[in-house]
Amino acid sequence: MNTVLSSANPTQLESECLAVVVVDDGEKNKPQPRVLASEAALQSAAAEVLASGEVTGKLFETVMVHRPQGLKAKRLLLVGGGRGRSFSSTELRKLAGTAARFVKPKNIRSFAFLTPELPTGVADAVKSIVEGVFVANFDPDVYKSDRKDQSLDSVTLLVNGDTKSLQAAADQGRIIGESQNFTRELVNEPGNRMTPTMLADRARNMVRQLGMDEIKIEVFGADKIQELKMGAFWGVAKGSDEPPALIVIRYEPKDAPASPVLGLIGKGVTFDTGGISIKPADGMEKMKYDMAGGATMLGAIRALALLRPKVKIYALVCATENMPSGKAQKPGDVQIAMSGKSIEIINTDAEGRLVLADGLFYARQLGCTHLIDAATLTGACVVALGMVNAGVFSNDDNMYGRFQSALQRAGEKMWRLPLDPEYLETIRSNIADIMNSGSRYGGAITAAMFLKEFVDETPWIHLDIAGTAWVEENKAWIAKGPSGIAVRTLIEFAQDFAKTGASWGTSAGTATAGNSTSGTDAAQKRADSGAGL
């Protein structure tokens, strides 16, 4: 899809459709809609429909005006932006996506969007609009035999300013939007078309297409995983006929300092049956998405390589299937992780933390000084936070504070949960150092406590994206299916990491705000007693 910046008068632009934001400046139950445009002709074209009460400015509201008077555009699309006093780039990104998804099924292949002014500046608005349109342009129906491609060909952003100076912001929005969609494409693939080997091939192709000396990839198979003594990872992988893959991508710009080094570690379970502790049949088909954490890291490092921050970043994806077979590990088995810790297997469906345990430790061996992992790790996190917020855990308040700032800039929703030492007691083993699953209570936290055992004092953030990696129904701005959650935040974080790398210290701590909720007995059972997805 092409993105075009134009400083043309919006009333004089010839287009299939011109999208304009409408906000509500009124009080509660007394809407006062206002078009975010200064041109008198635009105000006049929208005046009648605004006066009718058909348009209120409610968030994601869409009303089309055909043959608008005074405009050369064939259609005027009014998109509700919510309260004017709180309107920001977060809403704008979704509104751009809403406009794109509104026009696509109407056989409109190009449209224009009037860029509103934001307190954060025109460049931020341009970047947000481009991101939103690219994300909205993705549809998951790739295997339908009667599929009709409704993809947009182009979008024109009407800006008040020098288009050349804003091109960098548009390019950045395109890179981020494309990389989020790359993650979504990987997660969308069914298990028979996205095995660990296939995921590794897609990662290789991505690096090859980038064609940059700064980014290199290695893929290790079963022999290397065993040679590295990754007993936790291999314990999961050995149950499947499909070979595992340890994907290691290094982004090392020539002018980057030797330290710090950011490690991005993703769970890449390309299909999760639960193993011997097999899952219920209901909903198991969705377990193709259990590699979303790994796909997130691939999308993030793709974008970062193109954005070229001056910092070393390594992405590691531990890819495997979790299958029941005569070779599969059993409840009660003891595995020895790469770190030397012994793990009693209580539940073979708590496999994600096993592959991440070795991935996190190996990232430290490679020289990573700061770690972030992402995984569709626990049903318990879905019970606690639903499908709105991802769970965040950290052993370092300084690193978490910077991550929270990146989260706000990216406009994604995550909620920090505690890592109090008392939780560790529930996964102590009588026969080994640690169990891979505790009681039914606090399952997302005990899973994070398990991972914490393999990072020691290294500053670390764990993202449990089980409830947010998949959009359960079509929304105005995004299609049902993979969300690409955390890609934008990781990009923001890594760019800040590069700018302030020399000042990155640690302030270990586990303070947190917020609380978790408990569900019904049925919901708790569906969460596999806090075990992994």
The letter for the amino acid at 317 is V
Q: Which of 202, 267, 279, 488 is catalytic?
A: 279
The tokens describing 373, both together, are 């992992």
The letter for the amino acid at 285 is E
What is the DSSP secondary structure assignment for residue 280, as one 8-state letter? Answer: P
Cα–Cα distance for residue pair 409/172, rounded to 1 Å? 14
Residues 6+ apart with CB under 8 A from 407: 414, 489, 492
Residues 6+ apart with CB under 8 A from 9: 39
Annotated catalytic, 327? no
The tokens describing 172, both together, are 């950045």
The tokens describing 203, both together, are 């990662």
Helix 487-499 / helix 397-410 crossing angle, nearest 10 deg? 120
The tokens describing 439, both together, are 């009681």
- Cα-Cα-Cα-Cα dihedral of 370, 374, 378, 383, to 10°? 100
Give me the half-sphere count of Cα atoms (radius 13 Å) on the Cβ side of residue 281: 0
Instruction: Judge if the upstream peptide bond of residue 257 is cis by omega within 30 degrees of 0.
Output: no
Annotated catalytic, 279? yes
- Tell the residue number behind the tokens 């061996």, with chain if given: 365
CA angle 487, 267, 189 (to 5 degrees): 75
Cα–Cα distance for residue pair 431/396, rounded to 1 Å? 31
The tokens describing 261, both together, are 């080094």
Q: Which of 101, 174, 353, 364 is catalytic?
A: 353
Cα–Cα distance for residue pair 189/125, rounded to 1 Å? 32
- Tell the residue number behind the tokens 């309107």, with chain if given: 87
List, by residue number, the catalytic residues. 279, 353
